[in-house]
Chains A and B, each alone.
Chain A
Amino acid sequence: TQLLEQSPQFLSIQEGENLTVYCNSSSVFSSLQWYRQEPGEGPVLLVTVVTGGEVKKLKRLTFQFGDARKDSSLHITAAQPGDTGLYLCAGAPGNQFYFGTGTSLTVIP
């Protein structure tokens, strides 16, 4: 059983469409992070959300932390081919640092 479950696992959309990726857990986190990973490279941090209900925007990407701090979402507006990659949420309920199951996004030109 994964501590952080992401959905969907795979997503293929046309350029210009909107999408939302979800990260869910039964545990409470003091903060959650979102990463993007491209093939052959390590994950790169996009954002950290800390406060329950917090919303952060990074250009066309909007991140939200659930009120109960057990879940988070990533919304991409008008997706571009450059958004293609593996999106990972991550959090640390203690000393361990766990990653979610991952969402593989493909944006078709």
Chain B
Amino acid sequence: NAGVTQTPKFRILKIGQSMTLQCTQDMNHNYMYWYRQDPGMGLKLIYYSVGAGITDKGEVPNGYNVSRSTTEDFPLRLELAAPSQTSVYFCASSTRGNSGNTIYFGEGSWLTVV
């Protein structure tokens, strides 16, 4: 049972480099999300999508971009990486946006920008 799969699990970037965090889900969920989590803190919403072709900004979108060309995939792009983007990134999906439905998480991607 794959669920939500995100890659890579660990990555070290140099300041100014770019990279894409991949996320795919096999549950046919319309809603997908990207969060970042700093140590000991809650998750902050970066971007979300309510379906293929539709994306919207969350709480902390600056420095990131997303696309949703298919229902399954929701990649997160970091352009010109900065040390402030050092964090753990979680991709998630759910059947609907309201909290009455369970949200499923990927295993996380640890990103360090040096």
Contacts and interface: CB of A to CB of B under 8 A. Distances in A.
Interface in B77-97: 90, 92, 94, 97
Interface residues of A, number: 32
B99 A101 contact: no
B43 interface: yes
Which of B90, B94, B98, B108 has the most A CB atoms < 10 Å from its CB?
A: B98
B13 interface: no
Contacts of A100: 42
Nearest to A98: B45
B20 interface: no
Nearest to A104: B40
A96 B40 CA distance: 22
B98 A99 contact: no
Interface of A: 2, 4, 6, 9-10, 29-33, 40-43, 45, 48, 50, 86, 88, 90-92, 94-102, 104
Interface of B: 31, 33, 35, 40-45, 48, 50, 56, 58-59, 90, 92, 94, 97-100, 102-103, 105-108
Q: Which 9 A-B pairs have the closest CB atoms?
A: A42-B105, A95-B97, A102-B42, A99-B43, A92-B99, A99-B42, A92-B98, A101-B42, A91-B99
